[in-house]
């Protein structure tokens, strides 16, 4: 049975102190839903959070480099994250693809580097508005994932979660309709069956992200192929994040 996951992506928000204060409001959490609860924080806050986080809260980075070490100014490796007890990172967020020119080729190296070290990823994909308007959304997402997951072994796919985040829905208040999100997540699951096998397709956690809020999360989570949410803006306030965790399907 694949696990549900609610992940907050804080992006470039919160000082270390603010991050600590947020987490202190989440301790001893018993969410109604038995989803994994994941906080994706800026690098600087990760050690402070990882030191005190207790289950079900897990701490996640927002990016990681593919090389184990070397001349990559400003970058952080899998090994460095594991040393501070962080065992998971987002990769390929559309903001990194767009503002930092991350290519599918680089992302493929990141997935490979991560799984080799038993490090989990939330791999993001999603189409831009003009691609959806042209009716190319399925092809765009499929092309991204085929490239990002090239040469990954089926037995390593337990370390890969996929987040479908249509770029036009991020931070805009425009959520994909639950049916559109479901259609894409189903398409992704079928692609996983083709690329790997039925078991991988069945067991991979697929998240939706893009203007998820306490008042629309239940509708999204009720969809067959949507196993979780990757949430930006609505994850920044503890009360809002707690409401997301207690969605009722």
Cis peptide before 56 (omega within 30 of 0): yes
Does 230 interact with ligand 13P (rule: CB under 6 A)?
Answer: yes
Q: Which is nearer to ligand 13P, 26 or 217 (CB)?
A: 217
Look up residue 170 and give its two tokens.
């991020």
Distances (CA, A) of 120 to 12, 106, 153: 21, 17, 14
Q: In the annotation, is 165 catalytic? A: yes
Structure tokens at 181: 């999100």
For 95-246, where are the E strands, in sequence order?
A: 120-125, 160-164, 206-209, 228-231
Shortest distance in whole angstroms from residue 170 CB to ligand 13P? 4
**Integer Cα distance of 97 and 167 in angstroms:** 11
Residue with smallest beta-carbon separation from ligand 13P: 232
Q: Which of 211, 241, 244, 247 binds ligand 13P (CB under 6 A)?
A: 211
Considering only residues 210, 221, 228, 241, which one is a binding residue for ligand 13P as defined by CB under 6 A?
210
Q: Strand 57-60 to strand 88-91: parallel, antiparallel, or no bridges (unpaired)?
A: unpaired
- Is 93 a residue of the active site? yes
Closest CA to 213 of 193, 231, 195: 231
Question: How far is residue 178's CA from residue 183's CA, in Å, rounded to a whole number?
Answer: 9
- For position 161 contacting ligand 13P by CB under 6 A, the verdict is no
Smallest CA-to-CA distance from 232 within 221, 244, 218 is with 244
CB of 32 to ligand 13P, least distance (A): 21
Select which of 87, 93, 95, 142 is catalytic. 93
- For ligand 13P, which is the closer residue by CB, 88 or 170? 170
Stretch that binds ligand 13P, among 48-56, 134-142, 151-159, 225-233 (CB under 6 A): 225-233
Comparing CB distances to ligand 13P, the nearer of 65 and 93 is 93
Per CB under 6 A, contacts with ligand 13P among 75-114 are 93
Is 62 near ligand 13P (CB under 6 A)?
A: no
Of 67, 21, 25, 19, nearest to 44 by C-alpha is: 19
Sheet holding 206-209, edge to edge: 57-60, 36-40, 5-9, 228-231, 206-209, 160-164, 120-125, 88-91
Nearest-CA neighbor of 62 among 118, 140, 124, 127? 124
Stretch that binds ligand 13P, among 64-72, 146-154, 165-173, 192-200 (CB under 6 A): 165-173
How many of the chain's residues bind ligand 13P (CB under 6 A)? 14
Per CB under 6 A, does 63 bind ligand 13P?
no
Which of 31, 92, 126, 232 binds ligand 13P (CB under 6 A)? It is 232
For the bound state, the minimum distance from the C-beta of residue 247 to ligand 13P, rounded and expressed in Å, comes to 15
Which chain residues interact with ligand 13P by CB under 6 A?
9, 93, 165, 170-171, 209-212, 230-234
Residues classed as catalytic: 93, 165
């Amino acid at each position: 049975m694949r696990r549900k996951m609610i992940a907050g992506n804080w992006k470039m928000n919160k000082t270390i102190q603010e991050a600590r204060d947020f987490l202190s409001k989440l301790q001893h959490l018993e969410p109604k839903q038995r989803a994994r609860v994941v906080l994706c924080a800026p690098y600087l806050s990760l050690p402070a959070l990882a030191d005190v986080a207790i289950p079900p809260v897990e701490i996640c980075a927002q990016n990681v480099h593919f090389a184990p070490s070397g001349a990559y100014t400003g970058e952080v490796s899998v090994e460095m994250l594991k040393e501070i007890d962080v065992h998971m990172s987002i990769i390929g967020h559309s903001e990194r693809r767009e503002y930092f020119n991350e290519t599918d080729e680089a992302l493929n190296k990141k997935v490979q580097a991560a799984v080799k070290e038993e490090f989990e990823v939330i791999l993001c994909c999603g189409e831009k508005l003009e691609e959806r308007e042209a009716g190319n959304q399925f092809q765009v997402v499929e092309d991204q994932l085929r490239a990002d997951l090239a040469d990954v072994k089926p037995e390593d796919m337990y370390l890969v979660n996929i987040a479908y985040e249509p770029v036009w829905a991020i931070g805009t208040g425009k959520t994909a309709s639950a049916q559109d999100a479901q259609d894409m997540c189903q398409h992704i699951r079928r692609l996983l069956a083709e690329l790997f096998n039925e078991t991988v397709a069945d067991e991979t956690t697929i998240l939706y992200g893009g203007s998820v809020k306490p008042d629309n999360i239940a509708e999204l989570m009720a969809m067959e192929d949507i196993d979780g949410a990757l949430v930006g803006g609505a994850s920044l306030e503890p009360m809002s994040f707690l409401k997301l965790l207690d969605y009722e399907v």
